[in-house]
Amino acid sequence: MSERLIERARHGDPDAFVALIEERQAAMSRVATAILGSGADAADAIQDALVAAWRGLPRLRDDGAFDPWLERILVNSCRLAIRRRNHRRVREMSLPPVSGDDGTDLPHPRAGDDLEGIAEREAFDRAFDGLAIDDRAIVVLHHLEGRSLADVGRVLGIPVGTAKSRLFHARRRLDLALRAESDG
């Protein structure tokens, strides 16, 4: 199915391109947001990635390599999105909901747990944001997306052994950063 869509998209069929992306939108969205930590940045990165994919599709020779090829482009676009992040003047902010969709008040969280949870989440985000993009990508693809190290290696263009080593070092760097957060 995907092969036919890829072939049609390669020849300029926008319906096929959109169908291809629809099949993958959840994973693309999840990966980019986890790497970048911002839905707006993720949307920017996805837009860049789709432009690059649309343009590059005629040059993709192996249809079976479409997924790792697209993910590689997405990781590269995340790299660019990080560079652009500082150029934006207004940032997306996550605000806690004050009421339910039906207007009713939401139950109050337990204050102590909430504060502790917020601090932990912020510490994790700071530590994770300090990692290089490739480190973030390898952690997200392997742990969040459940991809094998062989798959991750194909996405990043590295041998499986290197992927394994990089994942180990990425986890270690993350742990060190988290330890520094808790010490600080």
26 binds another protein (CB under 8 A): yes
Quick check: 136 and 178 in contact, CB under 8 A?
no
Q: Which of 7, 56, 100, 148 binds another protein (CB under 8 A)?
A: 56
Quick check: 29 and 50 in contact, CB under 8 A?
no
- Sequence-separated (6 or more) residues with CB below 8 Å from residue 12: none
11 binds another protein (CB under 8 A): yes
Q: Which of 4, 84, 110, 169 binds another protein (CB under 8 A)?
A: 84
How buried is residue 22: exposed, middle or buried, by Cβ count under 10 Å (0-12/13-18/19+)?
A: exposed
3 binds another protein (CB under 8 A): no
Total residues interacting with another protein, rule: CB under 8 A: 78
Minimum Å gap between C-beta 104 and another protein is: 22
- Sequence-separated (6 or more) residues with CB below 8 Å from residue 58: 10
Site for another protein in 99-118 (CB under 8 A): none
2 binds another protein (CB under 8 A): no
Minimum Å gap between C-beta 131 and another protein is: 7
